[in-house]
Amino acid sequence: MASKREVNLIVSALLLVSAYAFAQPPGYQKPDPPFYTFDVPLDINFNITQPPCMSVDGNVPAYVTATTLANMPSGPGAANLAPCAAGSSFASSGSIFVNPPVNFNDSGNTMTISTTDTTAPSYSPAYGPNWTGATGVTYEQQFYAPPGSQIALSYLINGNGYVTIDVVSPCPDPPGDCVVGSTGATPTYGAFTSTGLPGASPTPIGAPTANNAVLKLPPFTVSSMGTYVVGIWVTTGFQYPFPYNQAPYSISVSAGCGIDATLGNNGLDEITGVAWPTLTTLLSQSATLCGYSGFDWQQWITNLPCPNPFEAAVPGNLPFANFCPSPTLTPFALTAGNSGFGSTSAPFLDAPQGGYTYAIVSVADQWDPLGPYNPYPFYTTAGIAETPGALVPAWVGDPPGFVPHPVNFENKMLYFYDGPSDACLDTAGPLLPAAAAALLARRALDCGGSTSTAPPGSYIGFQTSLVGINTDGSSGPPLFTWTWTDTFNGTAGNISSLVTKYPVDPGSGVGNVSITSINGVPVPPIIPPTQVSTTASGLAYSRVTKTFDGTVTLTNISGITLTTPTSFQLVLNSLPTGVTLVNSMGTFNQCPYITIPALLSLTPGQSVTIAVQFSNPSNATINFTPEFYAGSFQ
Amino acid sequence: MRFLWLFCAVSAIAGPITYDVTVDTSSISGTAGSLDFNFNPGPLVTQFASLQILNFTSDGALAGNCPCGIGDVTGQLPSTLTFDNGTGFNDYFDDFTYGDTISFAVSLFGPALSSPDGVSTSGSTFAFSMFSDPVGTTPVLTTDTTDGFAFTIDVNLDGSTTVNNFSPETTVVAADAAGVPEPASFALVGAAIASLCLFLRRRARPLPGDFKTH
């Protein structure tokens, strides 16, 4: 028999759903929407007493705000939801689930991410002062979604007790325009017990322990832009109040398809990425959770100037517009975006269907026959990306050296690597005489003449996504997307290449990779290490703060003044596991960063020194890859 | 002749940089506290360096509840401690009942000091702290209330060292200051020795003009 508390929970949630279910316009046809997933680890150990609000005029980037409430509004209280009013408060209906009321006083914790952003915000507020004895807490996540968004949420709940997830819309502008998430007939989407299994009896079986339970909400589509609310209601029995048998005392909530990614080597001449499961142990488990057979990368060439040496093995698979216009020096070369010769064309997949003429499989394997390497529609052949330890096949003319496996042997990491090179790019920069001569020779072969180049300032543009592999072999929607450019004009394996698996040849050219956006959020320009040097002091250990403290000095080693419209940022990429930057001012690309205060320019030779403070409980050797950006992170 | 070149090479290696440290602990005499020494690399590419704590003397009492070292640390006070920066955390921590004074020498040496490679991007740092409790949470005799350091010594990328002293009760002076040349002095001395070597080498064989005189 359901307890009074449970009855109240269900009735309240039904009222919430019914209040909004009929707001959907009659005759509404579900569009073919973009698909957004959230992968937002949330921590309800904090409170925002003044929930931040969001513009609903559609002119702001999509984002999410979060707040913890004393009680999940229910019944008539739900009508009081006003998330778009500055300083709004969320009325409590006087739930019996909190005894005493959960009353957090922390403030200032706001996450701002795009609806497509899977970057995990970090929170560090102290545990709420009045948790002791509480038997119910709620967490409310609000997000702004553009029209047509399809939202899918799955949550990992780690805690004891039961959980209920409601999706409602407070209908910001005008009332009635919003769509209730199609979350089914009952507002309860999962409950977990000490077994940790969703949907199990809400009655604890013995003393509950901290468990993980994955609760999935079916995808739903929103028809208008607005603010939508996901309420997560976690309760325990009175006999097991918070904190109970939890170490640490926390309930973490994450949402999304259970996979996240980060990027590396921005500003260098190669780019790397890595994706890993967040809700499960293995990639394959996460893929199953998301309904995929695996994960892969998908890359589009969004800009490729002419001339260039890249030709499709099966030209007929591409529109005429994707070939360099005549007259050019390489008439069969592919192009995208601005050709530099008066024409524009749509992006094409890298590699195009049928592959490139330069990448020919020399030794067939179970996934790739002899002939052009053809991973279409992915960047890596799907079978290889689904098989731990499988290698990209050998190509004709492969140089000896590193051969990557896109998925590691442990089935926990999916790697991305690219080091595009195009000798026809006219990137300015110093080269040793021998390398300069080699570049001219390469241009004679690749560009139609030793003096032929793409217009000065040209670049190759890319859009790369982490995607799921559908069971029919097609590509699922993007789960993590970034855009980037490359200006490197040397070689990789002594040839120009797009899809590649080998590092660029050192000193063979100039230019670098530059990430321009991650999940739709613009990335400020990176200042490559050829322009800024980074040095550091030793790290003294303080027993008072239990931190390793030192300084990092950045010096402009270029011949020009470096400027920023807002501020410079130092990102500490690739910190060892367990090492955290205590004085971080936020995270970018999963990495902590420090904003350099009151500095808008750095003249040649000028240095700036900033303090760094690391927490390193395991006493590991601390190291990182510095990245220096001229602009703020949104 | 071969011996002469060997002499020149050895001469190019600088000796250790040593600081004499004296702490007036009379204001906390009798306090059962603790001492901490650590010498760690930086977070980027760090050249190898070593450090010794020498001649530790005090009228206070070391507890000797050792092993006290973590990482690349050998020895036990009051005998010589030897650190190097090969691991991320190289620390020596021991309970200590304060008397009126503590004194010891800090000697830094190794390639990072004698022959900076010019490509490393991190230095190393030595830190000394005193605490009024055995677990090392309450720093004393320092104005650095945040981190609790009494003083630190940075090994810089050019082989020089920088002392930051936060303790009015502590003096940190270069041992035989006149004998601790600045990097520029090293360069001058090196140039002079090289010139001398070239001169002697030239003198050791006949000059073309000498043949002409015969």
Residue A26 inside a domain? The answer is no
* Predicted local distance difference test score (pLDDT) of residue A2: 40
List CB contacts (< 8 A) between B149 and chain A.
540, 542
Q: Has residue A46 got a pLDDT over 90?
A: no
Q: What is d(CA A597, CA A326) in angstroms, rounded to the nearest whole number?
A: 52
Residues A214-241, mean pLDDT to the nearest whole number: 42
Cβ separation B125–A614 shorter than 8 A = no
Q: Provide the pLDDT confidence category of residue B194 given band limits of 50, 70 and 90.
A: low
* pLDDT tens digits, one per residue of B129-179: 999 999 999 999 999 989 999 999 999 999 999 999 999 999 999 986 444
Average pLDDT of the segment spanning A491-520 = 89
pLDDT in the model for residue A403? 67
For the segment B54-79, the average pLDDT, to the nearest whole number, is: 93
Same domain, A559 and A582: yes
The answer to whether residue A457 is domain-embedded is yes
CA distance A340 to A306: 6
User: How many domains does chain A contain in total?
Assistant: 3
Residue B189 lies in a domain: no
Report yes or no on A383 lying in a domain: yes
Q: What is the pLDDT of residues A99-157, one digit of tens each?
A: 222 222 222 222 222 233 222 322 222 233 333 344 444 444 444 444 344 444 444 44
Based on the domain organization, do A599 and A493 belong to the same domain? Answer: no
Mutate one of A537, A545, A548, A621 to test the B interface: name it (highest B CB count within 10 A). Answer: A537
- Confidence class of residue B101 from pLDDT cuts 50, 70 and 90? very high
Q: Specify if B201 maps to a domain.
A: no
- Mark which of A498, A523, A548 sits at the end of a domain: A523
Preferred mutation among B38, B40, B119 to probe A, highest tally of A CBs within 10 A: B40
Indicate the SS3 state at residue A334.
strand
Q: Which residue has the higher pLDDT, B138 or A215?
A: B138
Dihedral sign, Cα of residue A432, residue A435, residue A440, residue A446 = negative
- Tell if the CB–CB gap between A550 and B87 is shorter than 8 Å: no
pLDDT at B201 over 70: no
Per-residue pLDDT at A279: 66
Interatomic CA distance for residues A526 and A238, integer angstroms? 53
Same domain, A456 and A504: yes
Q: Could you give the CA distance from residue B127 to residue B150 in angstroms, rounded to a whole number?
A: 8
Q: Is residue A149 part of a domain?
A: yes
Is A535 in the B-facing interface, judged by CB distances under 8 Å?
yes
Interface residue A550 vs chain B (CB under 8 A) = yes
Test A538 with B40 for CB contact under 8 angstroms.
yes
Quote the pLDDT of residue A226: 39
| A408 pLDDT more than 50 | yes
Taking the CA of residue B125 and the nearest CA in chain A, the distance in Å comes to 4
pLDDT score, position A382: 96
Interatomic CA distance for residues A227 and A144, integer angstroms: 5
The DSSP-derived string for A374-403 is --TTSSS-HHHHTSTTPPPPPBTTPPSS--
Give the gap in angstroms from C-alpha A263 to the nearest C-alpha of chain B: 20
Domain that holds residue B146: 16-180
Angle between helices B2-11 and B183-203 (to 10 degrees): 170
Verify cis geometry, omega within 30 degrees of 0, for the bond prior to A307: yes
Q: Does A428 or B187 have the greater pLDDT score?
A: A428
With respect to residue A27, please indicate whether it lies within any of the assigned structural domains. no
A235 and A276 housed in the same domain: no
Does a structural domain hold residue B32?
Answer: yes
Q: Classify A539 as helix, strand or coil.
A: coil
Q: Which of A96-105, A421-430, A532-541 is most confident?
A: A532-541
CB contact under 8 A, A544 and B39: no
Q: What DSSP state is assigned to residue A336?
A: B
Higher per-residue confidence, A246 vs B144: B144
How many domains does chain B contain in total?
A: 1
pLDDT at A361 over 50: yes
Examine residue A25 and state whether it is found in any structural domain, yes or no.
no
Range of the domain at A222: 1-20+35-256
Q: Shortest CA distance to A529 belongs to which of A539, A514, A544, A540? A: A514
Is there a contact between A395 and A472 (Cβ–Cβ < 8 Å)?
no
End position of a domain, from candidates A457, A489, A523: A523
Of A155-169, A486-500, B53-67, B167-181, the one with minimum mean pLDDT is A155-169
Confidence (pLDDT) at A327: 65
Does residue A592 sit at the B interface (CB-CB below 8 Å)? no
Q: Inter-chain contact A536–B122, Cβ cutoff 8 Å?
A: yes
Same domain for A585 and A481:
no
User: Looking at the complex, does the CB of residue A537 fall below 8 Å from at least one CB of chain B?
Assistant: yes
Yes or no: say if A491 and A500 are a contact pair by the CB < 8 Å rule. no
State the best of A533, A541, A607 to mutate against chain B, taking most chain B CBs within 10 Å.
A541
In a domain, B81, yes or no: yes
Query: Would residue B34 count as lying in a domain?
Result: yes
Do B44 and A612 lie within an 8 Å CB cutoff? no
Nearest to A534 among B44, B123, B139 (CB): B44
User: Which of A537, A544, A545 minimises the CB distance to B154?
Assistant: A537
Dig out the tokens for A456 from the structure.
């000065």
So what's the pLDDT on residue A325? 84
Distance CA B187, CA B192 (A): 8
pLDDT of residue A148: 41
Mean pLDDT of A343-352: 94
Question: Looking at the complex, does the CB of residue A615 fall below 8 Å from at least one CB of chain B?
Answer: no
Mean pLDDT of chain A: 68
Residue A436 inside a domain? The answer is yes
Tokens at A42, concatenated: 């949330």
Q: Is A577 on the interface with B (CB under 8 A)?
A: no
> pLDDT over 70 for what percent of chain A?
58
A496 vs A174, higher pLDDT: A496
- Looking at CA atoms only, how far is residue A116 from chain B in angstroms? 33
Residue of A nearest to B148 (CA): A544
pLDDT at A618 over 60: yes
- Angstrom distances, CA of residue A6 to CA of A17, A60, A206, A273: 16, 39, 18, 45
Which pLDDT value is given to residue B45?
Answer: 95
- Cβ distance B123 to A541 less than 8 Å, yes or no, reads no
Residues of A in contact with B40 (CB under 8 A): 538-541, 548
Is the pLDDT assigned to residue A304 strictly greater than 90?
yes
Rounded to a whole number, what is the distance in Å from the CA of A580 to chain B's nearest CA?
Answer: 12
pLDDT: is A591 or B5 the higher one? A591
What does the pLDDT read at residue A503? 85
Per-residue pLDDT at A257: 62
Contact B44 A550 (CB under 8 A): no
Predicted confidence (pLDDT) per residue in A435-473, tens digit: 999 999 999 998 988 999 999 999 999 999 999 899 899
Q: Does A548 touch chain B (CB under 8 A)?
A: yes
Split at pLDDT 50, 70, 90, the class of A494 is confident
Domain match, A425 and A518 both:
yes
A464 close to A272: Cβ distance less than 8 angstroms: no
Which residues from chain A sit within 8 angstroms of residue B164, using beta carbons? none
Of B40, B71, B148, the CB nearest to A543: B148
pLDDT bracket for residue A293 (50, 70, 90): very high
Cβ of B42 and A550 within 8 Å? Answer: yes
Burial of residue B2, with CB atoms counted within 10 A of its CB: 0-12 exposed, 13-18 middle, 19 or more buried = exposed
**How is residue A187 written in tokens?**
């507002």
**Does any domain span residue B202?**
no
> Which residue of B91, B139, B154 is in closest CB contact with A541?
B91
Of A227, A230, A200, the C-alpha closest to A217 is A230
* Residue A91 and residue A195 in one domain: yes
- Do A492 and A573 fall into the same domain? no
Our measurement of the distance from residue A131's CA atom to the centroid of its chain's CA atoms, rounded to an integer in Å, reads 32
A577 contacts on B by Cβ (under 8 Å): none
Query: What residues of A are in contact with residue B148 (Cβ under 8 Å)?
Result: 542-544
State which residue of chain A sits closest to B124, comparing Cα positions: A538
Within 10 A of A94 (CB to CB), how many other CB atoms are there? Answer: 11
> How confident is residue A331, by pLDDT bands cut at 50, 70 and 90?
confident
Torsion of CA A149, A152, A157, A161, to 10 degrees: 100
A613 to chain B nearest CA, in Å? 11
A621 in contact with B, Cβ within 8 Å = yes
Q: Which of A83-97, A285-299, B179-193 has the lowest mean pLDDT?
A: A83-97
Kindly determine whether residue A623 and residue B125, on different chains, have CB atoms separated by under 8 Å. Answer: no
pLDDT at A294: 94
H-type alpha helices, A333-462: 382-385, 433-446
pLDDT, residue A53, reads: 25
The larger pLDDT score, comparing residue A553 to residue A31, is at A553
Looking at the domain assignment, is residue B93 inside a domain? yes
pLDDT at A200 over 60: no
> What are the chain A neighbours of B123 within 8 Å (beta carbons)?
535-538
Output the average pLDDT for chain B.
82
Domain end point (choices A523, A550, A581): A523
Of A341-345, A358-362, B190-194, give the lowest mean pLDDT range.
Answer: B190-194
- CB proximity A509 to B under 8 Å: no
For residue A37, is pLDDT > 60?
A: no
Report the residue of chain A nearest B121, measured CA to CA. A535
